Structures are given as structure tokens and as C-alpha cells.
Structure 1
Amino acid sequence: MTFTDDSAVRPSELAIVELPAGGVELAAYIAGKLCHDFISPAGAVMSGLDLLEDPTAQDMRDDAMGLIRQSARKMVAHVHFARVAFGAATTSEQFTSAELCNLVKGLAEGGRSTLDWRIPDQAVFTKAQARILVNLAWMTLGALPTGGSAVVTTREENGWIHLIGSAEGARARLKPEAMTGLKGERLVEGLAGQWIQPYWLWLAVSEAGGRLDVAAEEGRVGLIAALPT
């Protein structure tokens, strides 16, 4: 898989005021994505509670409790992930690799793809690096709609850290909206929900003074965020 200059995004060359989405518009897109992510597990919890309260469905009580537990875990996983990926997270300014791996694995639980996290548990990342890494890792997994392997690793050289995601699977791909976002371009057609996280990743790399490279070929997708250390 080759990363070419055509796929390279050098956002640090752009002033923030020139970015295609920001301020209230950007906040609205992110809020919409979070609501979309939260509504499914929250709705499943409510469905489980409804079953518990239904006198005609008492034989399904164990199933209802299982649904509630599973959905509650998924909801908590989304919240923990979103605090780092989209929010200010905690007062902590640094995160270990193990912490970030658990955030991504919490969302991936039960999915079709496997996550191969090849970053030493003790490796430490700044808040900005952590935000970029978890978004990049989750997008790498998202490039495998029918299953496959997502490998996440890092490399440091010449004062730069490279955060690398590689997806390999039978139908590995990035949707057109995702490619638009990864280039830092405004969405003109397609689904905003498929665009906002890739665009947010591009913007996070931009504000860190880095560059984002994307490569895609049949069955393989690669993402590299290069950041100054």
C-alpha cells in the first residue's frame, strides 16, 4: 500500500478561519453524531426495561436483563470514548497506550473485526495525540464493514510521531463521505454522519501542526497521522 502526495493533507498550511466547517456548525455535526451513537444502546436499555415491566413477558426476564447489561456496557463505552475522541476528556494531560486501547476495544466488542493494538502499554500520549489516535483507530476498524483485521501502531523519527492504522479485509474501504472529511473538505453530498468523524480527525491533526495521509486499494486501507513531538 503506497501513500502518495496526492493523498497527503497538510492542514497546518491553512488558517483555522479558512476551514470549511467550524464554530456552531461543527458543534452541531458532532452533537448529531454523538446522539446517533448513544440512541441505539439507550433505546435497547429502554426496550429491556419495558420487557421487565410487561406482565405477559415474564418468561423473557433473563433475556431482558441480558439486553440491559449489554446495552448499558455499550453506552458507557461510547461515553468514555467520546470524552477523549471529541471532548476535553478528564483533567489528565496524558494517557497511556493501555488506556486508549481499552477505549477502542470497548466500542469494538462484539464486532466483526479484530483489533491488533501494537503499541506498548506503557507508551504515553498527550491529550492531542490521544484524541487523534483513538479516532484514527476507530476509523481503521470502521473501514472493515464485513470483518477483517485492524492493526494500530506508532513510529517515531526525526522529531515526529507517526500514528498508523492499517485495515485489511475482503471489503475494506472508506466511504466517499469519509474520504471527503479526511481531505478536510466540506460535505456537498452524502451523509453527514459518515463525514464528521473523518473531518474531525483531519481537524485534530491540523491543530496539532501535523499531516494526514490516506491510502486505499482493494481489500486494504491505511491511515497515517504524522505529528511533531
Structure 2
Amino acid sequence: MTAVSLDALDLAALLCSRVCHDVISPVGAIVNGLEVLEDEDDISMKEFALDLIKKSARQASARLQFSRLAFGAAGSAGAEIDLGDAEQVAKGFIHDDKLSLQWNAERRLLPKNKVKLLLNLILVATNAIPRGGRITVDVDFGTSVAETRIVVSAQGPQARIPVNAQELVAGRSASGEVDAHGIQAFYTGQVARAAGLDVDFSIDGDIVTIKADPVTPESA
């Protein structure tokens, strides 16, 4: 594996591409619904279109709010984020017939990079259970902020560690490059290092566990 070399402009471009990809689908559905309202006279079709518009608008809003916290600046340097806000946007994002979210972290302020990492680990976890299931979030605050530990587990049929996720989170890839498909996992690793946390993956049966522990001298 080769260390990935990516400049700031390419990182920003790839992350923007990722966010746009997540929002295109519900926005496209809103446009389709509006076209139906304009062209159809059938009452049942208009009702269907309105339901589609409402559902898609909620989905687009939830994805944008999630992305704002997971990828955005979220305040000035050194800012803290309320875990209650993170829980709210995560539950809005996970609102799906196939996925459920169990949030076991109490509400308190944490440095923004630790919260951003938590949200990005949730994104990685969704890719671990392509057929759906349950994602569980646990946070151990320890005796100080520096001792904070994050555990995100994904349980579902045919659970597997996402392809190339471990390497990309560690900042490596076979080619030394990263594309729009893998940029989120790569970014997750960058946020983890900025937060002073080391990410580790494991799988046991139908459960994939992703742990973020404080970096120790041995793991640094």
C-alpha cells in the first residue's frame, strides 16, 4: 500500500462531489414531482407527486444538515459541537426503512473534530451493512476530553468491512490515489488524526465494529 498524496484543492473538490452525489437523488425527485403537478390533472397522481416532493425535500434537508456537520467548518478553530445536535442530524440522515440508529452517547460538548469523526464513522458503518440493519453509537468520555473513545457498530445480514476502508482511513491505497468513491473514508482518517484518535476495524459474525481510541506512543 502507498500513502495517498492529495492536495487541499483536490480534497475539497472530491468532498464537494460526494456531497452533491448524496443530494442529487432527492432534488431530482422533487423536480420530477413538480413536473407531474404541472402536467397531470388526475387527483391521485397529484397527491402522489405532493407526497414525493415532501419526502424528497425532507431527505435533501437531512442530508445537507448531516454534511454540514460531518464535512463543514462547524464554527471557528477550536470550536465545540453539541452531541445532541450530532444525534439529531444523524437520526435524520439514517431515517430509512432498512436502517435504524441506536444512540447511546449522552448529550455534552465535544471538540468539533471528534464529533465530525463520529459522524463520518457512521457513514462508513452504513457501507458495512448494504442490506440494512442497525447502527449503534457509543461514546466513552473517560476522565478528560483527551481520553474520549468512540465505538460505532453495524449489525446486519452480510455485514462486511467496506472495501478499502481500512487502508483509506489509514491514508493509504494500492495506487497512492483516491477517487470520489473513496474520499469519505480517506477524509475520515484525516479527521481522526486531527482529533488525536486511531481508528480500528473488526468483524465478528454479522457485526462490524469501528473503534476510535486515543493515539498512544506505540500507535503514533
Distance 1:55 1:19, change over 3 A: closer
Identity %: 28
**172-181 vs 100-109, greater mean Cα deviation:** 172-181
**104-113 vs 45-54, greater mean Cα deviation:** 104-113
- 2:197 is the alignment partner of 1:203: no
Post-superposition offset of 1:191? 8.6
- May I ask how many residue pairs the two structures share in their alignment? 210
- 2:81 is the alignment partner of 1:95: yes
Q: Distance in 2 between matches of 1:49 and 1:190?
A: 41
**In the alignment, what sits opposite 1:168?**
155
Q: Equivalent residues in 2 for 1:80-91 (5 A)?
A: 80-90=65-75
**In the alignment, what sits opposite 2:218?**
none
Counterpart secondary structure, 1:88: coil
Q: Distance in 1 between matches of 2:120 and 2:81?
A: 14
Q: Which of 190, 194, 207 is the equivalent residue of 1:220?
A: 207
Is the 1:116–1:152 Cα contact (8 Å) retained in structure 2? Answer: yes
Counterpart secondary structure, 2:186: helix
Give the TM-score normalised by structure 2: 0.85
Q: Distance in 1 between matches of 2:29 and 2:75?
A: 28
**In the alignment, what sits opposite 1:125?**
110
Q: Equivalent residues in 2 for 1:105-184 (5 A)?
A: 105-120=91-106, 122-157=107-142, 159-184=146-171
Is the 1:21–1:186 Cα contact (8 Å) retained in structure 2? Answer: no
Q: Which of 11, 14, 19 is the equivalent residue of 1:34?
A: 19
Q: Distance in 2 between matches of 1:21 and 1:185?
A: 11
Give the TM-score normalised by structure 1: 0.82
Listed as ranges, the gaps of 5+ residues in structure 1 are 1-17
Post-superposition offset of 1:58? 4.7
Q: Distance in 1 between matches of 2:109 and 2:173?
A: 33
Q: Distance in 2 between matches of 1:169 and 1:126?
A: 31
Q: Distance in 1 between matches of 2:40 and 2:101?
A: 42
Q: Distance in 1 between matches of 2:124 and 2:93?
A: 12
Counterpart secondary structure, 2:37: helix
Distance 1:206 1:189, change over 3 A: closer
* Cα deviations by residue, 1:40-81 (Å, 9 ceiling, x for unpaired): 011000000000001455541111111111111111111111
Post-superposition offset of 1:21? 2.1
Is the 2:159–2:206 Cα contact (8 Å) retained in structure 1? Answer: yes
Q: Distance in 1 between matches of 2:28 and 2:186?
A: 28
**In the alignment, what sits opposite 2:63?**
78
Is the 2:81–2:111 Cα contact (8 Å) retained in structure 1? Answer: yes
